[in-house]
């Protein structure tokens, strides 16, 4: 393990700024680490030519700084466009499609000095929290390469854990910045919806389930990248607080009240031992000076689920309908995509309205909860990483999963409302597998959640445990 690649992103940034580390040396160390471990992990895809990257890094050494990411290697999730690189979305139709421009979030990272080295692997279309696709294959979990890295930001999370990147972008509709973070022992942050704008293309009003955000091995690195990604886009109507979060990262958290939701009163089936494993974090949270109170399920989980799958299919169906309408392209859509599209096409306007009424009622319930508690906590996943040969789990604790994504239901209370949420890595399981906690709060509580994350990291530093690779 190269010491340079084990540094945090902010440590690398500071070392480049004070000339104790060159961008070229960082790039060489990064490429060496990718060459050493990526063949077993398959997290980085579409990697650019090494000599071109080293030349670009040397040019960064000879140039004034553009920002805190100056000269630092970044690989972009393969759902986002990075100029000059393929955007495959894990689908063979696009394996040779080269992006002509950066997406907004990529442009912001590049403007802060990042060197885009390639892409990180993702499930086809980003559907399903298990990173495999017919273009690049499956991404392995660095803690056990026979297991899944999660998804859809699975390539990003695995690359962070395996020290191929120090910080990464991702996106989250149904837990995609949280589930893989939990399974790879790193931090993932889903921002308040609107803080990190999406692409100003197509509808900008109706679909509010997905957002881009940061992943890292420390909350401070999360905050630094979140501040780079954040900022209003006047072409889009949804706004959120975009004040910087890094400056306040070390604010004391003692005295804050936390509500523990566990398995939502038994509504979310959990793999044997995982709930108990998650609950071992409660006294650790209390040791930080937080007051943790166990809460009953605050809203019907099945109502949240029905609202979620309606609004999700409506959004996915709208986005992929153009491919479904072309018979030749329809044959190249995976089964889960067709299922989402056909459900979306079958919905009436009143179906969508009724789903949004449920969402509104859940939001009002949360508003009441957040008048009493600073944050709420759930386990991040309902099971530990599963064999990477699986398409998806078909049962948990003897309960059958009736859709390809039911096993991820525990992330939907957060995603349905566009609330900010951080995954905290916790102690490894008895069998050595990672897990995590979702800590979420009201809209615009991004900085406060990152402060809780930093206090947790300062005390426990779980993410410093290296995988065997």
What separation in angstroms does the CA of 162 have from each of 34, 167, 188, 261? Answer: 9, 12, 15, 31
pLDDT exceeds cutoff 50 at 454: yes
Neighbours of 247 (CB within 10 A): 11
User: Are 171 and 413 spatial neighbours (Cβ–Cβ below 8 Å)?
Assistant: no
Three-state SS letters, the chain: CCHHHHCCHHHHHHHHHCCCCCHHHHHHHHHHHHHHHHHHHCCEECCCCHHHHHHHHHHHHCCCCCCCCCCCEEEEECCCCCCCCECCCCCHHHCCCECCCCCHHHHHHHHCCCEEEEEECCCHHHCCCCCCCCCCCCCEECCEEEEECCCCCHHHHHHHHCCCCCEEEEEECCCCCCHHHHHCCCEEEECCCCCCCCCCCCCCCCCCCCEEEEEECCHHHHHHHHHHHCCCCCCCCCCCCCCCCHHHCCCCCCCCEEEECCCCCCCCCCCCCHHHHHHCHHHHHHHCCCEEEECCCCCCHHHHHHHHHHHHHHHHHHHHHHHHCCHHHHCCCCHHHHHHHHHHHHCCHHHHHHHHHHHHHHHHHHHHHCCCCCEEEEECCCCCCCECCCCCCCEECCEECCCCCHHHHHHHHHHCCCCCEEEEECCCCCCCCCCEEEEECCCCCHHHHHHHHHHHHHHHCHHHCCCCC
Neighbours of 243 (CB within 10 A): 13
Q: Which long-range contacts (CB under 8 A, 24 or more apart) does 86-89 make?
A: 86/46, 86/119, 87/119, 88/45, 88/46, 88/119, 88/133, 88/135, 88/136, 89/122, 89/124, 89/125, 89/126
> Would you tell me the crossing angle of helices 219-229 and 446-460 to the nearest 10 degrees?
150
Mean pLDDT of 184-191: 98
Answer left, alpha or beta for residue 304, where phi above 0 means left and psi between -120 and 50 means alpha: alpha
The C-alpha atoms of residue 249 and residue 219 are separated, in whole angstroms, by 8
The model's pLDDT over 12-52, given as tens digits with 9 standing for 90+, comes to: 999 999 999 999 999 999 999 999 999 999 999 999 999 99
Of 91, 70, 88, the closest CA to residue 79 belongs to 88
The C-alpha atoms of residue 141 and residue 428 are separated, in whole angstroms, by 14
For the domain covering 3-464, report its CATH number.
3.90.1300.10
**pTM: predicted TM-score of the whole model, two decimal places:** 0.98
The model's pLDDT over 200-235, given as tens digits with 9 standing for 90+, comes to: 989 999 999 999 999 999 999 999 999 999 999 999
Mean pLDDT of 429-449: 98
Neighbours of 97 (CB within 10 A): 14
Question: What residues does each domain of the chain span?
Answer: 3-464
The model's pLDDT over 249-294, given as tens digits with 9 standing for 90+, comes to: 999 999 999 999 999 999 999 999 999 999 999 999 999 999 999 9
Mean pLDDT of the chain: 97
The model's pLDDT over 105-152, given as tens digits with 9 standing for 90+, comes to: 999 999 999 999 999 999 999 999 999 999 999 999 999 999 999 999
Report the share of the chain in percent with pLDDT over 70.
100
The model's pLDDT over 335-346, given as tens digits with 9 standing for 90+, comes to: 999 999 999 999
The C-alpha atoms of residue 70 and residue 14 are separated, in whole angstroms, by 10
The model's pLDDT over 166-178, given as tens digits with 9 standing for 90+, comes to: 999 999 999 999 9
Q: Enumerate the active-site residues.
A: 77, 152, 176
Of 141, 181, 79, 151, the closest CA to residue 422 belongs to 181
Mean pLDDT of 53-72: 98
pLDDT of residue 469: 84
Q: Which residue has the tokens 């979620």?
A: 308
Q: Comparing 2 with 292, which gets the higher pLDDT? A: 292
pLDDT of residue 2: 58
- Both structure tokens of 429: 């399981």
User: Are 60 and 71 spatial neighbours (Cβ–Cβ below 8 Å)?
Assistant: yes
pLDDT of residue 1: 41
Of 299, 291, 304, the closest CA to residue 259 belongs to 291
């Amino acid at each position: 393990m190269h010491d340079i690649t084990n540094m945090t992103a902010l440590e690398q940034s500071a070392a480049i700024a004070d000339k104790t580390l060159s961008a070229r040396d960082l790039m060489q160390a990064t490429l060496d680490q990718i060459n050493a471990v990526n063949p077993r992990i398959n997290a980085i895809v579409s990697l650019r030519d090494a000599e071109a990257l080293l030349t670009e890094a040397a040019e960064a050494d000879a140039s004034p700084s553009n920002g805190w990411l100056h000269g630092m290697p970044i690989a972009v999730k393969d759902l986002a466009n990075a100029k000059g690189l393929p955007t495959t979305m894990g689908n063979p139709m696009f394996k040779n499609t080269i992006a002509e421009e950066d997406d907004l979030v990529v442009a912001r990272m590049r403007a802060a000095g990042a060197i885009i080295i390639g892409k990180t692997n993702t499930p086809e279309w980003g559907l399903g929290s298990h990173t495999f696709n017919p273009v690049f294959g499956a991404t392995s979990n660095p803690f056990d390469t026979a297991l899944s890295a999660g998804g859809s930001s699975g390539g990003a999370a695995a690359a962070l854990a395996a020290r191929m990147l120090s910080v990464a972008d991702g996106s989250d509709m149904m837990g995609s910045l949280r589930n893989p973070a939990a399974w790879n022992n790193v931090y993932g942050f889903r921002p308040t919806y609107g803080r990190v704008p999406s692409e100003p293309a197509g509808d900008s009003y109706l679909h509010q389930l997905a957002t881009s955000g940061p992943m890292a091995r420390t909350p401070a690195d999360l905050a630094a990248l979140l501040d780079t990604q954040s900022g209003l886009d006047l072409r889009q109507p949804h706004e959120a607080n975009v004040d910087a979060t890094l400056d306040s990262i070390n604010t004391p958290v003692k005295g804050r009240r936390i509500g523990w939701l566990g398995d939502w009163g038994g509504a979310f089936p959990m793999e044997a031992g995982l709930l108990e494993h998650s609950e071992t974090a409660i006294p650790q949270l209390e040791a930080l000076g937080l007051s943790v109170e166990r809460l009953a399920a605050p809203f019907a989980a099945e109502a949240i689920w029905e609202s979620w799958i309606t609004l999700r299919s409506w959004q996915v169906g709208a986005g992929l309908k153009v491919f479904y309408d072309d018979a030749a392209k329809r044959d190249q859509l995976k089964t889960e995509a067709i299922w989402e599209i056909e459900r979306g096409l079958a919905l009436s306007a009143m179906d969508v309205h009724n789903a949004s009424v449920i969402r509104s009622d859940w939001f009002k319930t949360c508003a009441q909860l957040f008048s009493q508690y600073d944050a709420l906590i759930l386990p991040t996943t309902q099971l530990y990483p599963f064999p990477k040969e699986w398409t998806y789990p078909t049962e948990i604790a003897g309960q059958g999963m009736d859709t390809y994504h039911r096993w991820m239901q525990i992330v939907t209370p957060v995603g349905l409302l566009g609330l900010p949420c951080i995954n905290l890595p916790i102690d490894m399981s008895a069998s050595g597998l990672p897990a995590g906690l979702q800590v979420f709060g009201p809209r615009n509580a991004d900085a406060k959640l990152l402060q809780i994350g930093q206090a947790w990291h300062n005390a426990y530093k779980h993410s410093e445990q290296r995988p065997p690779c």
